[in-house]
Amino acid sequence: MHFATDNKRLLQMRQTTFAGLALLMCFTLSWSNHAAARAPLPYHIEVIVFERNNSASELWSHNIVLAYPPNYRVIMPSMNTEDDASGEAISINNARTVNEIADSHYLLAPQAKKLRDKSTYRVLFHKAWEQTLGRKSQAPSIVINGGDLFDGKQELGGTIRFSVNKYIHVETDLWLSRFTPNLGQGSTWPPIPMAPTFSINAHHTDSRSLDRSGLGNDGSINLGETQTYQINHATADDSYSYRQPNSNLAQGFSTTQNDYVSNRIVTMKQSIRMRSKELNYLDHPVLGVLIKIVPSA
């Protein structure tokens, strides 16, 4: 009888132990799945911003404030070239940047071509980049610039912020400025802030990613139609640093006479929610924005 009782107790103990282990495994798997579901995911984000050339004239408010938020990200231009000895893409990760995707992988190239082929539209910005999307409270704003350059400021400025909470949320804070030669007439419009930029510090940039013959007399190199980045050859290591405008320039003030003044500023502040893999369009009397977001491969 004692042996039967002991065996019965041992069997009950084993059953209890197995039940506890099974419960622990279920809890661990559930927590892992929960954590994976909440982990930020990388996305291919592509944006086109265009202007309507035949937009009707409207009265736009002067009571506006233009500013770049502290939590911003600059789109790092693609530095891939055939000169890289390793044959691999040069990717620099920095907390203040998002990596641009090569235009050969653009998803909205057909839409951009259609816009450029029509005289009634002018494409101001078309780029794609990879970005990890998270909660709105921590989401950075992506710096958006485009158009012609006047006194170091482009016509299109501002930011777009992307976050996720069931849906993907998009918030635009863009402005389009029109400039006229400064004949001493002044401007009644608020100051336009200088956009945050970065400088490339690389002692062997010439052989790795950029052609020395493309450097200007001032050490600058043109990586696009209107985007010029300063190269500092004095450093001993490869790094990326950021040049925030000084307080005077950030507020739109200058110690020198500007050649141009703004005579109209149009703002576009909108927010939408969208699903990935869908093409979304934001409408506006003067501007238009096309956005497509897909999970990165």
* Helix/strand/coil percentages in the chain, nearest 5: 20, 40, 40
Retrieve residue 196's tokens.
């945050």
Beta strands 146-150 and 279-282 are unpaired
pTM of the model: 0.68
* Alpha helices, H only, 78-145: 109-117
Question: pLDDT per position in the chain (297 positions), as tens?
Answer: 555 555 566 556 655 555 555 555 555 555 445 444 456 778 999 999 999 988 767 788 899 999 999 999 999 887 654 444 343 434 444 568 999 999 999 999 999 999 999 999 999 999 999 999 999 999 999 999 999 999 989 999 999 999 999 999 999 999 999 999 999 888 899 999 999 876 554 433 333 333 333 334 443 334 444 344 442 322 223 333 333 444 344 344 444 578 999 999 999 999 999 999 999 999 999 999 999 999 987
Distance between CA atoms of residues 122 and 144, nearest Å: 16
Domain boundaries, the chain: 1-39, 41-196+244-295
Residue 215: burial class (beta carbons within 10 Å; 0-12, 13-18, 19+): middle
Largest CA distance in the chain: 111
Distance separating alpha carbons of residues 199 and 182, to the nearest angstrom: 29
CA angle 229, 109, 80 (to 5 degrees): 40
- What is the enclosing helix (H) or strand (E) of 153? strand 153-165
C-alpha to C-alpha distance for 142 and 263, rounded to whole angstroms: 26
